[in-house]
Structure 1
Amino acid sequence: MLATASKPFVKLVERYLPDPFVFVLILTLLVMGSAVVIQQQSVGTVLQQWGGGFWNLLTFSMQMLLVLVSGHMLASTAIVKSALNNIAKLAATPGRAIILVTLVSMLASWLNWGFGLVVGALFAKAIARRVQVDYRLLVASAYSSFVVWHGGLAGSIPLTIATPGHFTEDLIGVVGTSETLFSALNLTLLAIMIVVIPLVNRAMMPAAHDRVYVDPKRLAESVPEPKYHDLPPAEKLERNPILTVVTGLAGIAYLVMYFGDGGSLNLNIINFLFLFMAIALHGTPERLLHSLQQAIQGASGIVLQFPFYAGIMAVMVQSGLARDLSQWLISFATADTLALYSFLSAGLVNMLVPSGGGQWAVQAPVVLPAAIELGADVSKVSMAVAWGDAWTNLIQPFWALPVLAIAGLKAKDMMGFCLVQLIITGVIISAVFLLF
């Protein structure tokens, strides 16, 4: 039944879903055209607004890039891979394997979304080497756990507004993580997801005759033996662990001092933590740089797309388009329902802007003025946008690409399972934002 229900959706995605960069180009032209037609701005004025704001988010872009890269590098360390292989031994049955991969991936995504994407795929492969379980559902279970990332320690929206100097500070000030990530609302949503997502994944396990298995030999990882004899001095230095271990420990020592002095979580601190843990745990500059080369392949979209998001934000704000959109939102929303509408709209926008940071650049100028005018809770509305972005990642293939590449699958292989999770989690999250 699930396969039949998902086929039309899979075919639609395969046929009509272009690369996310195409979406950002379409959105750029749509916003610029709206500024000319609706806001009565001249073409020259709009071009000046767009070009003038194109590089306004360079700091923010680098922060988002480091979230993905540092998480990926940490996940690829030998100690993390070894830990995943040991935990995989607990998966004695197919049902237990599904539950376990969901929980481990969820914890990793809560810590850091780049870390979670890589850990989930690596752990699914580690389990599939030991247990005969439907490989499509196993990988889908790992990816479905990604839905909690924006309520976790590396959530780009809550950490952005907690970082001094963020681009909406003049509007809402600095909003601490105690009001967002560690609020009763967010912790409640996380607690519900921890229970619901693993159970739903387990319930979707196909009957024995419908399961799709993978040959464990295809998932084996070959590790070449390092050769240390007759190396030139430069290569010996690259394979020497002293520099990376001492530097990594120095970074960790700074963090101990930082939190000891009462420091709080923000985007820069989270990136600092994951980067220096990766440096320390990789052991040598050579292994660290090898993991960086792998990580950077999945980060190209951020480098290319974020300047366009900055240009879009500049046009929306300077042309008055953001102001008019917020006024329209206010016309039918109330202080109690604004969070729900923000969540649903964020889920829709995420299909066009598949990045929490980029999405916040587009939506913040709309939802924040609306929240202030209605007297709604700014932190709640911000988290609604965050959860909306994470929610439709279940069917937005942009962030699934690293998982699929590691697992050796295509989006259509797991899309049906993720679609079921989209419906169930969407109903639950909507109810919490409406009733909490």
Structure 2
Amino acid sequence: MKFMTKVANTIMERYLPDPYIFVAILTVLVLFLGVVLTPSTPLDMVVHWGNGFWGILAFTMQMVVVLAAGHVLANSPVFKKLLSFSASKLTKPSTAIIVVTFVSLLASWINWGFGLVIGALFAKEIARHVKKVDYRLLIASAYSGFIVWHGGLAGSIPLTIATSGHFYEDLVGVIPTTSTIFTPYNLFIVIVIGITLPFFNRFMMPKEEDVVEVDPKLLVEEEQKFPPAERTFASWSERSYVLTILIGLIGVTYLIYHFATKGFALDLNIVNTIFIISGIILHGTPQRFLAAVQNAIKTTGGIVFQFPFYAGIMGMMTASGLAVVFSQWFIAISNDFTFYLFTFYSAGLVNFFVPSGGGQWTVQAPVMIEAAQAIGADYAKTAMAIAWGDAWTNMIQPFWALPALAIAGLRARDIMGFCLFVLIFTGVIISIGFLFF
């Protein structure tokens, strides 16, 4: 296994391009496939791309905020001490890999945005304390926990179809989470991955001579320097705790109201609200909070300028019907026994080009629901097969790795060799779940 991961890492380091190059290649490839496999002309595909380019602008902003706000929170004095204390209890590289994977799995199952940020931040703090741990594998392990997000409490597809008024309610009705997230097959997949993946990642640890430790430069933090205090209102307000207390009270009151009236409803906006309000409170003064924000924004460049390209790809896939073509390939070779499995595989393929759970459901739901209806398949399980396919190939799709890579200071090629084996390992477990439950 160590030899295989070494070979995979070598191949990825040599041939996997930067995430921007990757999305540029995907853009050209999808345009070409759309012309070849659908009635669309080259101009049609370009128009579809342009019409979709700003299609996930709100989501892009949400991702920028979750990354920056998570970074701000982690760099608050209290949270830094908490992460440092937890990391200091780990002494062995093998234990570090197991623990960071488990923490990431648990956090991602609760909420994917929370898991993406917390896993990477915890891994980076562990790198400060544990010597001889492979930093690439440590970050890959933190990212690998993201695999369970669509089978968890914040899975966008199961939550969408559980909401009255969703797009396909007239076809499938409102499907409660007891028929999706809390079913035996979904719990089997989540629990088995949760138990085995930490040890699988530990099994991928390279030989001691092949270990790549963290570059000390990545752990250096800029010291916050503030101008001397002046006898002015501006200077006083920047250093005052009064505004922090007032904004903190407003934010906490709203969060209490939200959870009291809506239950444990954690969407991305609420996660961002928690991160921002917590960051404001824990940094103490507006001056320290704003300095932390300025430092955090530096990590968001990849998201700002790459997500629109994925939105353009999604526009081409949807408007041209290319996603439907891919789905129909798998439907054509399916039967009663393999339908859910091939739905899962088709979603994994489509996810390369439409790496958004909500977007993928919009693209694939019509054709998959129609196929499920034709063979008498369960709508809820069909939806979960799409959800798991969307989550599965995220392991080798740089789109979702960008926040973790930005925090870690690594490139996609540094971790994708390990993530490839995570893809294979979890693919077997998920396949068993859909075949035999």
Q: TM-score scaled by structure 2? A: 0.81
Partner residue in 1 for 2:314: 309
Tell me how far apart the structure 1 counterparts of residues 232 and 169 of structure 2 sit (CA, whole Å). 52
Q: 1:305 to 1:170 in 2, by over 3 A?
A: farther
Is the Cα–Cα contact under 8 Å of residues 153 and 270 in structure 1 kept in the other structure?
A: no
Q: Work out whether 1:100 is the aligned partner of 2:99.
A: yes
Is the Cα–Cα contact under 8 Å of residues 218 and 408 in structure 2 kept in the other structure?
A: no
What pairs up with 1:229-248 in 2 under 5 angstroms?
229-230=229-230, 233=233, 237=237, 240-248=243-251
RMSD (Å), alpha carbons: 3.6
Deviation at 1:296, TM superposition (A): 5.0
Partner residue in 2 for 1:371: 372
Q: 1:223 to 1:387 in 2, by over 3 A?
A: farther
Deviation at 1:257, TM superposition (A): 2.6
Deviation at 1:434, TM superposition (A): 0.8
Partner residue in 1 for 2:65: 69
Tell me how far apart the structure 2 counterparts of residues 254 and 95 of structure 1 sit (CA, whole Å). 42
Deviation at 1:412, TM superposition (A): 2.7
Deviation at 1:303, TM superposition (A): 4.4
Partner residue in 2 for 1:177: 177
Deviation at 1:206, TM superposition (A): 2.1
Q: Report the more deviating stretch, 276-285 or 4-13.
A: 4-13
Paired AA for residue 124 in structure 2:
K
Deviation at 1:198, TM superposition (A): 0.6
Partner residue in 1 for 2:387: 386
Q: Look up the SS of the partner of 1:19 in the other structure.
A: helix
Q: 1:107 to 1:430 in 2, by over 3 A?
A: same
Question: For 1:192-223, what per-residue CA distance to the aligned partner results, in whole angstroms no more than 9, with x for missing partners?
Answer: 11111111111122222222223546413334
Paired AA for residue 109 in structure 1:
S
Tell me how far apart the structure 2 counterparts of residues 203 and 163 of structure 1 sit (CA, whole Å). 41
Deviation at 1:402, TM superposition (A): 2.5
Question: For 1:258-289, what per-residue CA distance to the aligned partner results, in whole angstroms no more than 9, with x for missing partners?
Answer: 13xxx574xxx523421321232012666375
Q: 1:134 to 1:35 in 2, by over 3 A?
A: closer
Partner residue in 1 for 2:363: 362
Tell me how far apart the structure 1 counterparts of residues 371 and 59 of structure 2 sit (CA, whole Å). 27
Partner residue in 2 for 1:297: 301
Q: Look up the SS of the partner of 1:14 in the other structure.
A: coil
Q: Report the more deviating stretch, 328-337 or 200-209.
A: 328-337
Tell me how far apart the structure 2 counterparts of residues 366 and 348 of structure 1 sit (CA, whole Å). 15
Is the Cα–Cα contact under 8 Å of residues 317 and 353 in structure 2 kept in the other structure?
A: no
Tell me how far apart the structure 2 counterparts of residues 285 and 291 of structure 1 sit (CA, whole Å). 14
Tell me how far apart the structure 2 counterparts of residues 217 and 119 of structure 1 sit (CA, whole Å). 21
Is the Cα–Cα contact under 8 Å of residues 368 and 378 in structure 1 kept in the other structure?
A: yes
- Where does structure 1 lack aligned partners over 5 or more consecutive residues? none
Q: TM-score scaled by structure 1? A: 0.81
Q: 1:83 to 1:365 in 2, by over 3 A?
A: farther
What pairs up with 1:81-100 in 2 under 5 angstroms?
81-100=80-99
Q: Determine which of 271, 275, 280 is the counterpart of 2:272.
A: 275
Q: 1:325 to 1:412 in 2, by over 3 A?
A: closer
Is the Cα–Cα contact under 8 Å of residues 162 and 176 in structure 1 kept in the other structure?
A: yes
